[in-house]
Amino acid sequence: MVPVNGSDLMVRLRTRIARRKYMHKKVYAYEIYYLEFPRKLRDQLKHFVGRDLRIGFDVTDEKLVVTIEPMQNVSPVKNGPVKNTGA
């Protein structure tokens, strides 16, 4: 854990119930979990916004370790059309 300005910061794990209607009557409900980061971290988190992130969890003895890292771009690099040499 890397403290900011020499102090540990609190991050809160929250949950909410999302409800989606289907078949014009029925409701599908499910929980969504999210983290609230302190405002002091906004400069460090700014470049992660809108990117695909890989997340990992490790749960041991009342501790939850969350690792979040950007996913690598797996799409091939496009250098233009491939030319047929007509061998």
What would the pLDDT profile of 45-78 be if each residue is shown by its tens digit? 888 888 899 999 999 888 888 898 988 866 655 5
How confident is the model at residue 36, as a pLDDT?
87
User: Would residue 81 count as lying in a domain?
Assistant: no
Size of the chain in residues: 87
Tokens encoding 64: 């939850």
Number of domains in the chain: 1
Residue 79 belongs to a domain? no
Q: Domain range for residue 17? A: 12-70
Residue 77 forms part of a structural domain: no
In a domain, 6, yes or no: no
Contact 15, 35 (CB under 8 A): no
**Domain assignment of residue 57, yes or no:** yes
Residue 82 lies in a domain: no
To the nearest whole percent, how much of the chain has pLDDT over 90? 25
**Per-residue model confidence (pLDDT) at position 30:** 94
